[in-house]
Chain A
Amino acid sequence: MNERFLMTRRELLMAGGALALGALLPAGRARAEAGKLVAATYPGTWSEAHRNVLKPAFQKRVDAGVTQSIILGTDQVARLAAAKGQTPPFDVAIFDPPQVLDAVRQGLIAEYPAAQSPHYAELLPVYQDRWGPKVSMQVIGLAYNPERIRTPPKRWDDLWDPQYRGRVGMTALNSQLGLAFLAELNRLRGGSSSDFEPAFRALRELLPALGAVAANLGAFATLWQQEQIDIAPYNFNFVQTLKAKGVPVEFVVPETGAVAWHTSLHVVAGTTVPELAVQYIDTHLDPLVQAAMMQPPYDVIPTNGKVALAGAVTQSVAKTQDALAALRGVDWAVLTEQRSALIERFNREIRV
């Protein structure tokens, strides 16, 4: 019965030929689309601001097609690493600090050619970086549902308040939100970069209060929309975007201060359209574009010195760029080094 499945040598050669042909196809496809840019974007605020503001502004400048693909930072690094040596799956990456560290280490992004980017010099010095300009700042604090929680929470410790039992949310550590919250919690509870026990002890105490731990940031937004959770650490921008959609959610900076980090755009190493990539990134630095993105519902924090801070940022987070710069950062180098160990520990200890 098995003979029928045996192939002759000629048939095997033909199959091999088909395989080789298949391997050649993707390269041909990429060349054919040389006039088109593929840019990664984050879910939520970012994808909306990039689609509605950045894309039209870019296409006014350059006559080129652009596809914006929503991919989380860690997924972008994984995809670029998997495609290393071939045509990369996208040309512009959007990263938070941990991904920049990973990508630079693995040679996945190119140095940013600042000389070809007219708006780069307008950035405040703190937002300039040889690997790619910082296009905004992400700030995390406490988010809550004002319809179910009448008195706004004041500090992180309020998450442990028994009255919120079953309604507290969190994200897993594959998001910067999850990691940054863990680090801040660890700092407040007296831990250090070599000892995360205080943070994990606090999280274990929080277990019965947790209504949900979202596996990723996209699922986290759904939790708010479905009112599965009423209080949780969250990004300022995502709260603004959800609010604009009519979801009852408010943002407060905890008494101990907000935690912030920079978000940056990068030219992917090996891209076939480096000039388009730089044009795209430079468009994001344009003061007009940044001013438009600072409008609701995006409320994206500007990094260009010519854009004066205004709107919701100044009400909820900081009045001036100096005040923004003074926000507490996160030691991403230390966290990134321990990320895999922390994820593993989180898996083991934060279970049902």
Chain B
Amino acid sequence: MQQNKQIKNIFVDRQVKNLPQVERILSQLQPLPVQVVDTVEEIKEDLCLSPDPIAESKKVLFLTREKSVIRPCPCTQGCVCCHYWTLDLNLNCPLDCSYCILQAYLNLQPLTLAVNQEDLQVELDTFFSRQNGEVLRIGTGELGDSLALDSISGQASLLAGLVGGRKRVWLELKTKTAGIDSLMAMPAPENVVLAWSLNSKRIINSEEGGSANFEERLRAAFRAVEQGYRVAFHLDPIIYYSDWEREYEDIIVELLKKIPGEALAWVSLGTLRFPAKLREIARWRFPQSMIYEGEFIRSWDGKFRYPRPLRLKLYEKFKKIFQEYGLSHKLYLCMESSEVWREFLGQNKKGKLYTSPFCWLD
């Protein structure tokens, strides 16, 4: 599915209207209407009149300048931090997942692309020059899919070019699409990881609107491996439902049969978690979705999570499958408490717990 096909309107920030990249993007999207604005607020004023402003915000593209795009990943207080850095070149996402936190987080923000590429290069150079020898993981995909708009933005190959080859730095591009053409047109840098968020086929079909299906994602990952890329997978959010065990096992086995272990950079596991505000929005936007009606506790950070014993049961099942393929050491948990990490890793890994979960990268 081509996500840029859903764009109906384009707005350009007056500050960037003369940049060559803007001209290039607009030429690809002709004949869509283009309007120059001074602030994003002008766009939001119209979005709020829509019956579903979140859906509407995904049809409006805004090209702008971002002063700074590198930020430490906002791991919830009380969770074991994986020291990730985010590159927020996009705000909002053309995909429409029922569990997406952006629904509660972005306040009517249109699909926003930062087009000031020269500033990005300077910021990256400054950031890496301050690196003190530790392994850095940095990636897009925190505030929008890394590749969904790549066919018009060209950001993925740009970033791969800027970060590729840097020592002790891993660039991760995270997606639920199969749109990797621009990356396949270049030699694979060793430190660029293409990552796919995965879920059971049932959950992909029912909860991940506009995304590529499981087979398409797996084919794209295999293609990336053939091109020489390392790949990663995020089994997140894991949903507990009646057939979860069999259906998740099916996709993991399919995945591990297709993707060679040595090409796997890492695999994250995370169970469904959400603030109350997201549930309120999602129940209204996705009335058919059942994912918010499970058994949850309100956890230390105010978010709803499955009870710890249930989360552990889910994680252990996943670990067991990866163990059978000798790949459980590639697993880490996303936004989990130290209590769960401790149980998941077992006592012998306890020493590593509070430093970095990525012992294999050190």
Whether chain B is bound by chain A comes out as: no
